[in-house]
Amino acid sequence: MKIGFFDSGIGGITVLHQALRFLPNEDYIFYADTLHVPYGEKPKEEVREYIFNAVDFMANQGIKALVIACNTATSIAVDELRQKYDFPILGIEPAVKPAVENCEGKRKKVLVLATSLTLREEKFHNLVKRIDHHDIVESLPLPGLVEFAENFEFREEKVVPYLKKQLSSFDLKQFGTVVLGCTHFPYFENSIKKIFPKDVDIISGSIGTAKNLKRVLEANNQMNDGTGDIKYFKSGYKVEDKETLSKYNELLVMLDRISSLTTLV
């Protein structure tokens, strides 16, 4: 049986990339709901319907575990999904806890970059309230990065001006850690680094999610002897055209290059 990965678009490939590192002998299904991306700027109830339709489809593929590789989808629906399905369901959330721990001793602030919907959700606010005892966490929605990623636009000459404009009201020297709270954002690690001072740490939750997936499979005695095969689906249709598959493979190669320079937790 395969492991399912779900996202509104290609952002979840950044989490799948880490799973391939920790679980190279598993086989995977990756589902991108490209008909409805981006989720982060849509009404909550509408997004919830898209999520359940996608997970219903994946459940019918016979998956043994599911990773919701989308911060927005996790914040909206992970608890309800766990009530409905009997296979393990893992989510991802902004890495606020390690960011706060990293900054408290430095007397620096944390900046969480995410989608508007993730930042509005009660789940995120409860997370910050539970961890941020010294009021050092700030946040900023960056929907443009999702659009850039979905259009396979990663050139720094396009991305950096957008980031500079969005961050123009912040004193960047105040921050010790930047949290990439959307799975689309790790693609732009290098561009983000160009904006912030060199001593700022940039983290996301991808490695933590992959490690947790491995722990769950081991605990359930569900480890496979597969080949790392990946089947891709876009809103219910199997991706078979060579151009799209080539683009997905290029993303994994790009993430290999970025991961050697990125601090992930």
The catalytic residue positions are 70, 182
Contact between residue 185 and residue 113 where contact means Cβ atoms under 8 Å apart: yes
Residue spans of beta strands (DSSP E) within the chain: 3-7, 28-32, 65-68, 89-90, 109-114, 137-141, 175-180, 201-203, 230-234, 237-238
Cα separation, 161 vs 143, whole angstroms:
14
Nearest of 157, 223, 225 to residue 194 by alpha carbon: 157
Cα separation, 254 vs 204, whole angstroms:
17
Q: Can you read off the two tokens belonging to residue 231? A: 């089947």
- Please list the residues that pair with 31 across neighbouring strands: 6, 233
DSSP SS3 for 153 = coil
In Å, what is the CA distance from 68 to each residue of 39, 74, 151, 152?
Answer: 13, 6, 22, 22
